[in-house]
């Protein structure tokens, strides 16, 4: 093979890339250690070395967690093959997500698992919609039973409304876990029937009945959901040994990325495909941040790395990172050390993996800085800056925290950004503000917009997505009741360009002119379809002189509305496309409108009785971010931070990325609890008795039923364990946030809002511990 020799590898990377010839290898990789680089180079070397037989269509199989990671791996491997080995860039490998791989397996032999060749896969939105409809239709008959979970101190009517709102997420988690455990609804209902008088399992009874009806609905549609795919793939592999052997021959090497995020079922699928032989697993248990809302479990990777359980697994840690300045590395390592050795809740001390490696004299879980002559060294310490926004006795409101971050006096974005404006654009630092949840990010984005600071969003839905959908929703709401003159006026306002809207806000005379224009018409017909003898749309001479653009703008608006009213009889997707064609020209907006049209068309098939008011309500839910709807942004293609532009993201979305300057906001005991008596938990609803976490309780009921031992379930124990699990995951999330920063790190907190049923927030315990550490270290 032809190979360029100018590629530089750290010794631990070289050990993996150049010396691997087969077998099972576990790689615990610290943040910034180059795991994607290493895995991509390993795949390319296996291809180039001839161990993959092209003649028999063999491939190196690379499995990762997200679609953006798939794209990143494909681009890296293609570039390495072409530039380093002079080979074709797209031959000899396949990169898939876990669910994408499972889909490939099932799609190739659907009959093995009882599916037709043309089976369909329901997306998350439609799956949740079906489950929600079942829940709403059955809640009345089950309410007497479920109301036993409500607190006696709350209004039952209000509690029922909130219960109905929260049940879909709870039942969805139950169904996901049941499918991951390969438990059919009939099995659950059969076990429950044997304990019909045991009221402790009422929540599981309800969830199991919804699960049964949901599966029947899927069967009726000839469909499966994403949670079925891995289960069915494993079932197909176990039913046909020849099919399994053929896939094992096709993929003689399996390389798994982000292994800390694999579930038991996903691990079993990869174990089967690898034949438990040539399997390389890469991940970081200390960055396992998806455990409380998925079936992922980092313990599966830890067990794989455990020599006593798997003596045939060779561990090759990646512990050296050149991402951050040394003070930030020290801060991340201190968070791990403090948690393991000093956390005030001893049951939380296993949140991080910190293990000795006697052969190498290192500790897995500790980030090591680069050595001499490393071509990707840590940034110089002189560039480093850490500010922990905490002082004993200090209180900060949520509003003040955002204001301090954006426009305060000490570390604010506005002043700091102005100080780098003289730098060439491509030399400006990258900046991110990371928040625990989307709602906080939305408020921050509003403040950035107020101060004219350029930013991009990596939130559940971006401001641009929400704004576009809001415009569309406003038009649909009007078309649902076209005689409403106030609604028509609202359409005109919402569609107005932002600069002109600012002009109207600041000019009371202009507002009065527009109001008088609409008020002069007794009915809509006079405005939109005036009789021929009537004068054309106009404004007063004084208004025309002061605002020469206004008359033409109103006339153009009238023509658009006429066009939409003529299209009102079209199917909803075609109506949406007609409206979008008149409103949007930007390719991103056009693509988004097409996606909305497809979504509403799917809803129309599911709900043939829906009319425009129902579709308008769906758009309201999307625009207010009550339901996940990803717009056309960088979520699929991979995000690259832009110099000098602020990235607003959740800490979860930031994983895998890095910036020169990072702000971590809202690091309080509510977002980052420590399992202490005064902590509050987002999973414990105010209307539920005894502070139960109902999702944790129903999953514990499922676990007891799955082994046929109801006595294993002890009400309240699952809630207590969920507090510990959540506290551990949030510590790992804070670790992820800290390790996104290359040079500068600012951490802030706020005391939250005052709620009747819980005290104000406190600074998170790890923030206090890190503040004490930095004071002692003089950072």
CA distances from 507 to 20, 510, 574 (A): 71, 5, 38
DSSP character string of 315-337: E--B-B--SS-HHHHHHHHHHHH
In three-state secondary structure terms, 121 is strand
pLDDT reported for residue 394: 80
| Ramachandran sector of residue 561 (left: φ over 0; alpha: ψ -120 to 50; beta: rest) | alpha
Mean pLDDT in residue range 513-536 = 72
pLDDT reported for residue 579: 93
According to DSSP, the residues that pair with 94 across neighbouring strands are 61
Long-range interactions of 416-423: CB distance < 8 A, separation 24+ = 416/661, 417/453, 417/644, 417/646, 420/644, 421/644, 423/644
Does this model's pTM top 0.95?
A: no
Comparing 28-42, 220-234, 636-650, the range with the smallest average pLDDT is 636-650
Angle at 603 between CA 597 and CA 604, to 5 degrees: 85
Q: CA–CA separation, 468 vs 584, rounded Å?
A: 9
Tens of pLDDT, residues 599-632: 888 778 777 888 998 888 888 876 665 444 444 4
Q: Measuring CA to CA, which residue among 518, 622, 542, 633 is closest to residue 587? A: 633
Confidence of residue 753 (pLDDT cuts 50, 70, 90): low
Angle at 345 between CA 342 and CA 347, to 5 degrees: 105
Comparing 288-297, 483-492, 726-735, the range with the smallest average pLDDT is 288-297
Q: Measuring CA to CA, which residue among 511, 465, 515 is closest to residue 488? A: 515
95, exposed or middle or buried, with CB in 10 Å at 0-12, 13-18, 19+?
buried
In three-state secondary structure terms, 5 is coil
Q: CA–CA separation, 739 vs 735, rounded Å?
A: 6
Describe the crossing of helices 202-221 and 694-706 by its angle, rounded to 10 degrees: 80
Would you give the end-to-end CA distance of the chain in angstroms? 50
Residue 534 pLDDT > 60: no
pLDDT reported for residue 662: 98
For the record, the structure tokens of 173 come out as 């988690």
Q: CA–CA separation, 165 vs 722, rounded Å?
A: 21
Confidence of residue 4 (pLDDT cuts 50, 70, 90): very low
In 3-state terms the chain splits into helix, strand, coil percentages (rounded to 5) of 55, 10, 35
Q: CA–CA separation, 413 vs 404, rounded Å?
A: 9
Mean pLDDT across the chain? 88
Helix H, strand E, coil C: the string for 186-248 is HHHHHHHHCCCCCHHHHHHHHHHHHHHHHHHHHHHHCEEEHHHHHHHHHHHHHHCHHHHHHHH
Tens of pLDDT, residues 74-123: 999 999 999 999 999 989 999 999 999 999 999 999 999 999 998 988 87
Confidence of residue 695 (pLDDT cuts 50, 70, 90): very high
pLDDT reported for residue 550: 87
Tens of pLDDT, residues 330-375: 999 999 999 999 999 999 999 999 887 666 556 788 999 999 888 8
**Distance from CA of residue 79 to its chain's centroid?**
28
Burial code (b: 16+ CB inside 10 Å, e: under 16) for 24-46 equals bbbbbbbbbbbbbbbbbbbbbbb
Detail the DSSP E strand segments found in 358-478.
362-364, 385-388, 431-435, 455-458
Tens of pLDDT, residues 243-267: 999 999 999 999 999 999 999 999 9
Burial code (b: 16+ CB inside 10 Å, e: under 16) for 652-689 equals bbbbbbbbbbbbbbbbbbbbbbbbeeebbbebbbebbe
Looking at per-residue pLDDT, the higher value among 635 and 464 belongs to 464
Residue 130 pLDDT > 50: yes
Q: CA–CA separation, 229 vs 202, rounded Å?
A: 29
Is-contact 463 418, C-beta < 8 A?
Answer: no
Is-contact 684 716, C-beta < 8 A?
Answer: no
């Amino acid at each position: 093979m032809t190979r360029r020799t100018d590629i530089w590898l750290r010794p631990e990377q070289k050990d993996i890339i150049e010396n691997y010839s087969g077998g099972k290898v576990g790689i615990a990789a610290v943040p910034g250690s180059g795991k994607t680089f290493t895995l991509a180079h390993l795949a390319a070397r296996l291809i180039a070395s001839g161990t993959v037989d092209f003649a028999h269509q063999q491939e190196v199989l690379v499995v990762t967690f997200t679609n953006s990671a798939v794209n990143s791996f494909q681009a890296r491997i293609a570039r390495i093959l072409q530039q380093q080995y002079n080979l074709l860039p797209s031959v000899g490998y396949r990169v898939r997500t876990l669910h994408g791989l499972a889909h490939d397996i099932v799609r190739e032999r659907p009959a093995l698992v009882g599916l037709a060749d043309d089976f369909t896969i329901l997306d998350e939105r439609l799956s949740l919609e079906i489950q929600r409809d079942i829940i709403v239709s059955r809640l009345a008959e089950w309410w007497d039973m479920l109301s036993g979970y409500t607190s006696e101190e709350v209004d039952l009517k209000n509690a029922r409304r909130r219960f109905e709102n929260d049940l879909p997420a709870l039942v969805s988690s139950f169904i996901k876990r049941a499918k991951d455990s390969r438990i059919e609804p009939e099995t659950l209902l059969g076990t429950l029937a044997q304990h019909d008088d045991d009221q402790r399992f009422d929540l599981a009874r309800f969830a199991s009945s919804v699960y049964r009806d949901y599966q029947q609905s899927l069967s009726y549609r000839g469909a499966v959901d994403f949670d079925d795919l891995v289960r069915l793939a494993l079932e197909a592999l176990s039913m046909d040994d020849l099919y399994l052997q053929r896939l094992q021959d096709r993929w003689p090497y399996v390389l798994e990325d982000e292994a800390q995020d694999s579930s038991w079922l996903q691990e079993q699928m990869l174990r089967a495909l690898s034949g438990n032989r040539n399997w390389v697993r890469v991940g970081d248990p200390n960055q396992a941040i998806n455990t409380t809302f998925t079936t992922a479990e980092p313990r599966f990777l830890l067990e794989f790395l455990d020599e006593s359980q798997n003596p045939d697994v060779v561990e090759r840690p990646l512990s050296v990172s050149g991402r951050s300045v040394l003070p930030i590395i020290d801060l991340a390592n201190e968070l791990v050390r403090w948690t393991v050795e000093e956390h005030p809740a001893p049951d939380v001390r296993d949140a991080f993996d910190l293990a000795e490696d006697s052969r190498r004299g290192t500790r897995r879980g500790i980030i090591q800085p680069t050595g001499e002559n490393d071509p990707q060294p840590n940034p110089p310490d002189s560039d480093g800056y850490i500010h922990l926004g905490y002082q004993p006795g200090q209180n900060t409101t949520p509003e003040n925290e955002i204001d301090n971050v954006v426009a305060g006096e000490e570390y604010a974005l506005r002043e700091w950004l102005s100080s780098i404006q003289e730098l060439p654009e491509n030399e400006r630092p990258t900046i991110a503000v990371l928040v625990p949840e989307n709602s906080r990010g939305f408020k921050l984005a509003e403040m950035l917009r107020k101060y004219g600071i350029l930013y991009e969003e990596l939130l559940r839905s971006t401001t641009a997505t929400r704004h576009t959908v809001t415009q569309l929703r406003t038009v649909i709401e009007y078309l649902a009741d076209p005689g409403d003159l106030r609604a028509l006026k609202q359409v005109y306002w919402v569609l107005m360009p932002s600069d002109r809207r600012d002009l109207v806000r600041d000019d009371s005379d202009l507002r009065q002119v527009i109001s008088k224009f609409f008020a002069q018409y007794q009915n809509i017909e006079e405005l939109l379809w005036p009789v021929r003898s009537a004068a054309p749309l106009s404004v007063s001479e004084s208004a025309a002189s002061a605002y020469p653009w206004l008359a033409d703008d109103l006339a153009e608006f009238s023509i658009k509305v006429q066009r939409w009213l003529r299209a009102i009889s079209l199917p909803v997707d075609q109506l949406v496309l007609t409206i979008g064609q008149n409103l949007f020209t930007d390719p991103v907006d056009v693509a988004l409108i097409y996606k909305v049209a497809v979504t509403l068309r799917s809803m129309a098939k599911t709900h043939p009785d829906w009319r425009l008011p129902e579709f308008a309500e769906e758009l309201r839910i999307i625009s207010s971010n009550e339901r996940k709807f990803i717009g056309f942004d960088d979520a699929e293609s991979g995000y690259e931070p832009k110099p000098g532009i602020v990235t607003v993201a959740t800490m979860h979305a930031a994983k895998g990325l890095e910036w020169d300057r990072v702000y971590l906001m809202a690091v309080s005991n509510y977002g980052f609890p420590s399992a202490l008596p005064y902590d509050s938990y987002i999973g414990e609803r105010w209307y539920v008795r005894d502070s139960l976490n109902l999702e944790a309780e129903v999953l514990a009921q499922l676990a007891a039923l799955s082994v046929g031992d109801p006595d294993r379930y002890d009400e309240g124990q699952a809630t207590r364990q969920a507090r510990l699990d959540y506290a551990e995951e949030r510590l790992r999330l804070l670790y992820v946030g800290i390790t996104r920063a290359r040079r500068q790190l600012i951490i802030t907190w706020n005391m939250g809002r005052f709620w009747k049923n819980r005290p104000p927030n406190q600074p998170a315990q790890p923030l206090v511990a890190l503040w004490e550490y930095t004071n002692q270290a003089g950072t």
